[in-house]
Amino acid sequence: MRVDLVTLFPEMFAGFLAASFVGRAIAGGQMSVRARSPREYGLGKHRSVDDTPYGGGSGMVMRVDVMVATMESLDGDAPDGVRARRVLLTPQGRVLDQARVLELAGRDAIMLVCGRYEGFDERIRSYVDEEVSLGDFVMTGGEVAAMAIVDACSRLLPGVLGNEASTIDESHSPDTGGLLEYPHYTRPAEFRGARVPEVLSGGNHAEIARWRREQAIARTKARRPDLWERFQEREASEAKGTGDP
């Protein structure tokens, strides 16, 4: 999988790309990452990448000509010749979820376009394939969102985690219907009066599986009623044999 980054701050990614499972994915060849700054295509002596908004208003706006030139340059010299799926990182985009991560991780190449300042010239949206947001809040730029996507995708690539089953029972996994994950425990068996549930040390795997399922359901109901409602709708739809609504 190839990830191209359009960012004014490529240096922000250096430590992130060298560490943990992302670093393992890159070292193992499952993922490659290129970063390119719009400054390379900026205008004038100061390599300007933004300008004041038409109609007035606060802040500066990222220029469409500079941003498009950067995106096209990355596609133009792609080592494998594959045009990346362009993802604009913006609080106005679709909120990222595990289903979207799975789809992105299955692509040969994606391009993550990070903004700064007040925002993008609206015409930039005509040159991307989709818009993604981490949630209903605003950050100073798209770099942290890009890191989140790279991290989430890297762990889904074959051979990166080492144990492919690790992604099956976790929160939001399609294999569990999108439920939150059940509680985990390890040693010590007792800590300040709080003990590990007896069922987990009893050796009855059927009972353990049942307990974990019950805990996942209870946790989802209590913490994420929206996910629980979605799970129930999916279960009802599948019971009728009509598939997802």
Nearest CA to 87 out of 122, 116, 112, 124 is that of: 112
* Per-residue pLDDT tens over the stretch 89-137: 999 999 999 999 999 999 999 999 999 888 999 999 999 999 999 999 9
* Per-residue pLDDT tens over the stretch 141-188: 999 999 999 999 999 999 999 877 667 778 888 888 999 999 999 999
Nearest CA to 65 out of 81, 82, 48, 45 is that of: 48
| Whole-Å CA distances, 236 to 141, 152, 233 | 41, 30, 5
Which pairing describes strands 50-51 and 32-36: parallel, antiparallel, or unpaired?
unpaired
Two structure tokens written together for 210? 């049942």
* Alpha helices (H) along the chain: 14-18, 20-27, 64-76, 98-105, 143-154, 205-223, 225-239
Q: How many CA atoms lie within 13 A of 4 on its CB side?
A: 29
